[in-house]
Structure 1
Amino acid sequence: MNQDADRKGVDELQMPMAASPASAGLAWSLVEARLIRWGLDDEARYDARLILTELLANAIGVTPLGGHVTVLCSRDTAGVAIGVADRCPDVPPEPQAVVEMRPEDLDLRPERFDDNGGWGLAVVTALAAACGVTRLDAGGKIVWARLRA
């Protein structure tokens, strides 16, 4: 992902954004416009939206207040990839195996309600053809997923 991307057959979008949930709408609007330009259908764009939302939420969650993240979307001969870069050096844990959950499996007490999450990367893994983490030389990482489309 560099300035010479177009000359190497890669079409890429890089967007530094405030590490805030408020950035999600703008990020999706810009990524969706690019996906439409590339000819992705509604189903692929729906999957892309879920993937972007999960990756962005995770990156925002590990970024200090006032920090920023970078949303990436690229297309090359292997397809389309979406990623989010942050400065946190910690690599996310491998997603848990997807299991059927029942409401009684959740702890719905008000003080524990938010502790029932942690399925975001499992969703990404289920929707993506491939996904992974790329460490950045300057520190931090990009968590990315390649679309099936």
Structure 2
Amino acid sequence: MTTTSDCLLLPILASKAAPGLARTLTRSRLDKWGYGHISDDAFLIASELITNAVTATPGKEIRYQCSRDIDGVLIAVWDSSPSTPRVRPLIEMTLDTLDVCEEHWDDNGGRGLPIVATLAAECGHTPDPHGGKWVWARLKP
């Protein structure tokens, strides 16, 4: 991924705190650029991409990037896993099918990448030549 002088690029420990840290830092960057109006979408995208990276590489380093160019705002997350992102089949949930017991709570997810694809102008993943991958989404300001 390319960077510019006002790009936010930081290493983060893949933990439950990572999405919140990224949202906090993204808010000030978007406000600085005059893009506060897309902050809700950017926060959700950043949270989803970081959560997937945390799931793929718990306790390891991930990298978060928020940058802008003539095509818009780029939100990107790197992790060291060679596995490519996979969209799980969406199933309609009802209160009867929702499993709220602790050991199955995470099985109720799987909607992150479709949400990202809906909010972003474009999104995808790119292998990193040094290992791992970047998963990214671009927002139009």
* Selected match of 1:116 from 105, 108, 130: 108
Q: CA deviation at 1:101?
A: 3.7
Are 1:86 and 2:79 an aligned pair? yes
Q: Does the 8 Å contact 2:15/2:58 carry over to 1? A: no
Q: CA deviation at 1:110?
A: 4.7
Q: CA deviation at 1:31?
A: 1.4
The 4+ residue runs of structure 1 with deviation greater than 4 A are none
User: Aligned residue pairs: how many?
Assistant: 141
Cα 1:104–1:12 shift into 2, 3 Å: same
Are 1:35 and 2:27 an aligned pair? no
Provide the TM-score with structure 2 as the length reference: 0.88
CA distance in 1, matches of 2:12, 2:105: 29
In structure 1, stretches of 5+ residues that fail to align are: none
* Selected match of 1:20 from 8, 15, 22: 15
* Selected match of 1:104 from 93, 96, 121: 96
- Of structures 1 and 2, the larger Rg is shown by 1
CA distance in 1, matches of 2:81, 2:71: 28
Q: CA deviation at 1:116?
A: 1.3
Which residue of structure 1 aligns with residue 39 of structure 2? 45
Which residue of structure 1 aligns with residue 61 of structure 2? 68
CA distance in 2, matches of 1:31, 1:51: 11
Q: CA deviation at 1:126?
A: 1.2
* Selected match of 2:127 from 119, 127, 135: 135
Q: CA deviation at 1:109?
A: 4.7
**Cα deviations across residues 74-119 of structure 1 (Å, max 9, x unaligned)?**
100101010110000100113646x654323433455433211111
Which residue of structure 1 aligns with residue 50 of structure 2? 56
CA distance in 1, matches of 2:105, 2:20: 25
SS in 2 for 1:83: strand
Q: Does the 8 Å contact 1:96/1:122 carry over to 2? A: no
Identity of aligned residues (%): 45
In structure 2, stretches of 5+ residues that fail to align are: none
**Cα deviations across residues 103-146 of structure 1 (Å, max 9, x unaligned)?**
23433455433211111111111111110001100110011111
CA distance in 2, matches of 1:118, 1:94: 7
Q: Does the 8 Å contact 1:127/1:148 carry over to 2? A: no
